[in-house]
Amino acid sequence: MTKVWPGSAPAGQLAVALVLCALSSAAVAQPAPSTVDSEAIRAVDRYLETWNSRNPMIWAGSLHFPHVRPGAGNFRLTRTPEEYARGVDFKRVLATGWHRSMWDSYDVVQHGPAKAHVAGRYSRYTEDGERIRTTFVTYVVTRQGDRWGVQSRFAAGPADVDPNQAAASELAALGAVETFFAALGNPTDPEAVAATLNYPHVRVADGAVVLWESAAQYLAGPEPGRLRTWAGTRLDWAEAVQVGGGGVNVVVRYSRLSPSGATLSSYEALYLVTTRDGHIGVQARSSFAP
């Protein structure tokens, strides 16, 4: 794995360095990693177990709401288990020959006191054990009360991507993330930030899930005011953890700055980068920042 740091290169180019250590903590203060990680893994296991039940309400019971699955295709925010279950059609899935789904791998790539990001790879199989397809998704797992569940699924899409295409997609996604943070460097220009995003745009942070349908809706809300709270934001590093046929999931660490350039606070986050209507942009974000 490589981790990349923005250097003095022009925008869109990143200096690359090998990192031999594990991902750093998701925020300055952390709980015991083993507790959060085990709860997050238990939550995604429950997610796939209930999916295999073929019962929409049982499956919805593994999720937290509001729930959203951002990706390159159409998606929407659902607010209740009942609403979510009404949109699930297992007959259509069974018609593809699907019998069950199984994990190929999963790994907690970031965690905080009440949230974790789990990069998962799963495959669908026929009853005879023939693999139908393999998919990359990073799961945003949160704690609501005493219960852990899947709040959002950042869908990177099919895992069978040509290596050359995967390398190009990774480079483009890291460039899109760098462009986003370059725009954040000028908090007086929220329009520049809005232009780096893809819509509908999703942010999962501070115990809330927000979806903006358009740049106009984004700019009309509280985000411009929130961005003006800091003199600037610096991207410390970025790493692509999943490169799929529908998008790239990128984990980052960034810092908020004072007018003197001093670091006020640092956080980790997950960004899904997609191509929508020809625009490579940030489709969804999940941050450990307030």
What does pTM read for this prediction?
0.90
Q: Please state, as a whole number, how many other Cβ atoms lie within 10 Å of the Cβ of residue 130.
A: 10
pLDDT score of 184: 93
pLDDT score of 20: 29
Q: Containing H/E element for 143?
A: strand 131-144
Looking at the chain, list the stretches that DSSP marks H as alpha helix, in order from N- to C-terminal side.
33-51, 56-60, 81-86, 90-94, 163-184, 190-194, 215-220, 223-227
Beta bridge mates, 273: 248, 282
pLDDT score of 34: 83
Nearby residues of 262 by Cβ (< 8 Å), 6 or more positions away: none
Beta bridge mates, 239: 251
CA distances from 279 to 73, 118, 183, 282 (A): 14, 27, 16, 10
| Domain 2-23+162-287 part of CATH 3.10.450.50 | yes
pLDDT score of 197: 98
Q: Please state, as a whole number, how many other Cβ atoms lie within 10 Å of the Cβ of residue 121.
A: 17
pLDDT score of 289: 93
The domain ranges of the chain are 2-23+162-287, 33-158
pLDDT score of 11: 40
Same fold for the pair 2-23+162-287 and 33-158:
yes
User: What are the two backbone dihedrals, phi and then psi, of residue 68, each rounded to the nearest 5 degrees?
Assistant: -150, 145
Under a CB-based contact definition with an 8 Å cutoff, are residues 244 and 137 in contact? no
Domain 33-158 class, CATH top level: alpha beta
Indicate the residue type of 246: G
pLDDT 10s per residue in the chain (290 long)? 456 667 534 444 443 333 323 333 344 344 566 899 999 999 999 999 999 999 999 999 999 999 999 999 999 999 999 999 999 999 999 999 999 999 999 999 999 999 999 999 999 999 999 999 999 999 999 999 999 999 999 999 999 999 999 999 999 999 999 999 999 999 999 999 999 999 999 999 999 999 999 999 999 999 999 989 999 999 999 999 999 999 999 999 999 999 999 999 999 999 999 999 999 999 999 999 98
Q: Containing H/E element for 251?
A: strand 248-257
Angle CA(285)–CA(217)–CA(185) in degrees, nearest 5? 55
